[in-house]
Structure 1
Amino acid sequence: MAVVLVTLGWLGVFVLAPHIMVVLTSFLSPDPANLAVWPATLNSYKRLWDTLYLGVFFDSLYLSLMATFFCLVTGYPFAYLISRYRPSVRAILLFMMVVPFWTNSLIRTYALKLLMGNKGLFNDVLLALGIVQEPVQILYTGFAVIFGLVYILFPFMVLPLVSSFDKLDRNLLEAAQDLGANAWQRFWRIIVPLTTPGIVAGCLIVFLPAMGMFYVADLLGGAKNLLLGNLIKNQFLVVRDWPFGSALSVSLMVLMTLMIWLYFRANHYVQRKGGLEDENLK
């Protein structure tokens, strides 16, 4: 009982209370001296619909969606291959994947910045192979931001997928093959539906942090490739408009809630489909 109370108290002080403060601040008025003051107003939420901020939001949405897509496209077959190995080998492979990420992500982002520069390793390889005749502008582009997000968030896509593949009943694949299903039909009608929770969970874990990783956009994208996290950071630390920064944060929390709802819907769909299949077998 004491452990439960301590856990609830910790969550209440460090999770619930800050979220309530952010929501309440979003309804206040900005003030340079006191950061946020009465009276309550909806102006911060009205500003969310300004074309300037909508443009930043959609740019951020595009970069985050592209990063999530490439993480999924590369992480799905990678997770499938890992799941085919016996548990001891699988643990070693997962460990090897995670070890580089023990280094702080900010330091690794600085390393990527050096690699992507006009005199970095990427351009040196392209020049040595004769693919280009002069250095290509890689740094401070949308590609650099997407590459950095994929590099940092890739393990967060793979781990839920590996868990889903572990739970996959291989007997279903053998039964489908015996009934004449080809490889594509087995993949699309059995593997994908049964690994949907892992797909949704991986996309959720990748997409939401990608929207807020302002330091990746700052270091790799320059001023033209902003994420929503950059806008929130600037409102709190530069402009000192805390109500508007809080309104942006609340909008991100609403987006997170919608995606968590989607995850539970996907889980419910898989469980329901599995139950129907069990009834059909009976």
Structure 2
Amino acid sequence: MAFTTDTRKRLVTAALVAPAAIWLFVFLVLPFMAIVVFSVGERAPEGGYQTAFTFAQFANLGSRAAAFRNTMLIAPLGAFLCLIVAYPVAYYLAIKASPRYRLLLVSLVVVPFWTSLLVRTYAWMYILGSRGIPNLLSMIGIEDVRLLNTPGAVLLGIVYGYLPLMIMPIYVSLEKLDRRLLEASADLGARPVSTFFGVTLPLSLPGVMTGVALVTILLLGEYLIPQLLGGGKVFFIGNALVDLFLQSRNWPFGSAIAVTLVAVVVIVLSVAMRIAFKISGSRQVDLV
């Protein structure tokens, strides 16, 4: 049986896409479907899941309002602080750094990923703890300074842990920037600041939105940093899920929170894509 050229192309495409599609369906779609089923069930007397059909779990989301509030406030703020720190670094790497050392500098950005986030967060626990910075401050007469177990400590850990994920999309966007546009702007008499806000920043917005969306989405499910640097006083949705699934064993309520979190992520991603598309005009914007 002979196949046309178009048919062969479709078969090849299907063969290439099939492994990834099957993987996503088995390990992403099916587990999420199970979570959705759990979310409309009830907690069994001994804990876990009991078959039912009720939306009472969603009606009870208000009992975890603190976790939602902390997550919705600190996660976007952490992403914004990452952006403030990351953009100058990415700009230097892509525009100002010598090509001879650029690869080395970019490698240094990703070096922290070679070490477990758990180890790096424990290091910050020591730095911010009583034997770290507060101890040094007490030596110069500044007493009773508490840095650990505060929202500030959580934000610091977020910026440190997620900074490379913000730098790299912005760097890629700036690295692709046509240098002739910058030269043309200078030749037309524009000052460096005007060139930055009129040319560089608008053209790098796809990378900026990619980094902001990526970091924000990951932060919405963050567990480790609030647990260690927040000391249980800065409670995220991820901490609530661990408590409900592993300690309280209230799987339906935990599933309802998880479904709500996924809905929030979808909304955040959709809004980010819409904003990026409007700002960037007809330029292609890839956030995932």
Q: TM-score, normalized by length of structure 1?
A: 0.87
Match of 2:90 among 79, 86, 89: 79
Offset of residue 159 of structure 1: 0.5
Task: Find the counterpart in structure 2 of residue 106 from structure 1.
Answer: 118
Quick one: which of 166, 190, 211 aligns to 1:157?
A: 166
Verify the 8 A CA contact 1:60 1:227 in the aligned structure 2: yes
Deviations 1:21-55 (A, max 9, x none): 1122111122243622222111111112x2x4223
Take 2:252 and 2:131, find their aligned partners in 1: how far apart are those partners? Answer: 43
Amino acid at match of 2:32: H
Contact 1:82 1:162 in 2 (8 A): yes
- Preserved CA contact (<8 Å) 2:87 2:167: yes
The amino acid of 2:46's aligned partner reads A
Q: Name structure 2 gaps, 5 residues minimum.
A: 1-11
Which residue, 72, 75, 89 being the options, matches 1:64?
75
Secondary structure of 1:173's counterpart equals helix
- What residue is the counterpart of 2:198 in the other structure? 189
Shift of 1:271: 5.3
Per the alignment, in what secondary structure is the counterpart of residue 224 of structure 1? coil
Distance 1:160 1:32 in 2: 48
The structure-2 alpha-carbon separation of the partners of 1:194 and 1:18, relative to structure 1 and needing over 3 Å to count, comes to same
Uncovered stretches (5+) of structure 1, i.e. residues with no partner: 276-282
SS in 2 for 1:222: coil
C-alpha distance in 1 between matches for 2:98 and 2:20: 37
Question: How far does residue 112 in structure 1 lie from its aligned partner after superposition?
Answer: 1.0
Q: Is the 8 A contact 1:83 1:166 kept in 2?
A: yes
Cα distance, 1:188 vs structure 2: 2.0
Match of residue 278 from structure 1: none
- The correspondence of residues 192-207 of structure 1 with structure 2, limited to 5 A, is 192-207=201-216
Q: Sort the Cα spacing of 1:32 and 1:98 in 2 relative to 1 into closer, same or farther, 3 A.
A: farther
Match of 2:187 in 1: 178
Q: Structure 1 vs Structure 2: percent identity of aligned residues?
A: 33
Residue equivalent to 2:5? none
For the pair 1:144 / 2:153, whether they are aligned, the reply is yes
Bigger Cα displacement from structure 2, 88-97 vs 154-163:
88-97
2:52 pairs with 1:39: yes
Contact 2:47/2:249 (<8 A) preserved: no
Contact 2:150–2:234 under 8 Å retained in 1: yes
State the 4+ residue runs in structure 1 displaced beyond 6 angstroms.
Answer: none
Matches within 5 A, 1:1-282: 1=12, 2-33=15-46, 35-48=48-61, 50=62, 52-84=63-95, 85-120=97-132, 122-127=133-138, 130=140, 132-269=141-278, 272-273=281-282
1:138-173 CA deviation, whole Å, 9 max, x = no partner? 111111111111111110000101011012222222
What's the CA shift for 1:8? 2.0
The verdict on how the C-alpha distance between 1:41 and 1:149 changes in structure 2, with shifts beyond 3 A counting, is same
CA contact (8 A) 2:49 2:251 kept: yes
C-alpha distance in structure 2 between counterparts of 1:237 and 1:76, whole Å: 39
Secondary structure at the counterpart of residue 36 of structure 1? coil
TM-score between the two structures when normalised by the length of structure 2: 0.86
Question: Across the two proteins, how many residue pairs are aligned to each other?
Answer: 270
Distance 2:66 2:26 in 1: 35
Q: Is the 8 A contact 1:32 1:240 kept in 2?
A: no
Q: CA deviation at 1:124?
A: 4.0
Shift of 1:248: 1.2
How far 1:119 moved relative to its partner? 1.3
- Alignment RMSD (CA, Å): 2.1
